[in-house]
Chains A and B, each alone.
Chain A
Amino acid sequence: NAGVTQTPKFQVLKTGQSMTLQCAQDMNHEYMSWYRQDPGMGLRLIHYSVGAGITDQGEVPNGYNVSRSTTEDFPLRLLSAAPSQTSVYFCASSRQGHNEQYFGPGTRLTVT
């Protein structure tokens, strides 16, 4: 199993540009989520999905869109990048219930 994979590893955007961060898992997990990690703030939930076709907002959803057309993939779209979105982004997946989440290696995004 590859686990949770994320692409790209690094990305630099200019303000106003859009892009999609890719996330895929091969564990047939129902639950997938996106977090951003900023110094001193831990991980904050952006969006999550409990299955294909079902998504919902987390703690900091503004400026981001998600969709879940398959169990495996959960892309995160930045519609119009802003410097405040400079962060490290992590995708995670888990089976439903009280199960631990498996994290991808992260994408380091810089918006100038």
Chain B
Amino acid sequence: AQSVAQPEDQVNVAEGNPLTVKCTYSVSGNPYLFWYVQYPNRGLQFLLKYITGDNLVKGSYGFEAEFNKSQTSFHLKKPSALVSDSALYFCAVRDWETDSWGKLQFGAGTQVVVTP
């Protein structure tokens, strides 16, 4: 079975500082990994994904994430946070060896608060 852990309920950062949102995963095979963002009273929006290849993945709005197989992590990063980055962030994983239908397992979410 696949699982995702986001160890921080909330991350607080000052505008202009680096932002990191942590995610670790567990799958029996090889993972597909995703990050989504949810703004208040909205649906989830796709940020980026890791399928294969380069461990550093670049996505929307200046975000990037690094896949680390040995640490089973996929942390989301942004070099310089903006107040508008304040939102709820979800990490999700799919095990492409055991699940052919694209079912995603989501983490519990991390609330990011960026202060001016």
Contact = CB atoms under 8 A, between A and B. Distances in A.
A98 B109 contact: no
A106 interface: yes
B103 A45 contact: yes
Contacts of B109: 40, 42
A75 interface: no
Given A90-B44, A103-B43, A98 B96 contact: yes
A44 B104 CA distance: 9
Q: Is the interface of B mostly helix, strand, loop or mixed?
A: loop
Interface of A: 4, 31, 33, 35, 40-45, 48, 50, 56, 58, 90, 92, 94, 96-106
Given A42-B90, A90-B43, A48 B106 contact: no
29 contacts: A4-B43, A31-B101, A31-B102, A33-B103, A40-B9, A40-B109, A42-B4, A42-B108, A43-B104, A44-B106, A45-B103, A45-B104, A48-B103, A56-B101, A92-B44, A96-B102, A98-B49, A98-B94, A98-B96, A98-B102, A99-B102, A100-B46, A100-B49, A101-B44, A101-B46, A101-B104, A104-B43, A105-B43, A106-B41
Contacts of B36: 103
Contacts of B41: 106
A101 to B, nearest CB: 7
A56 to B, nearest CB: 7
Interface of B: 4, 9, 32, 34, 36, 41-46, 49, 51, 90, 94, 96, 101-104, 106-109
Contacts of B34: 100
A94 B102 CA distance: 9
Given A42-B108, A42-B109, A100-B34, A105 B42 contact: yes
A71 to B, nearest CB: 15
Given A94-B102, A97-B102, A106-B43, A40 B49 contact: no
B112 to A, nearest CB: 15
A40 B104 contact: no
A5 to B, nearest CB: 10
A42 B102 contact: no
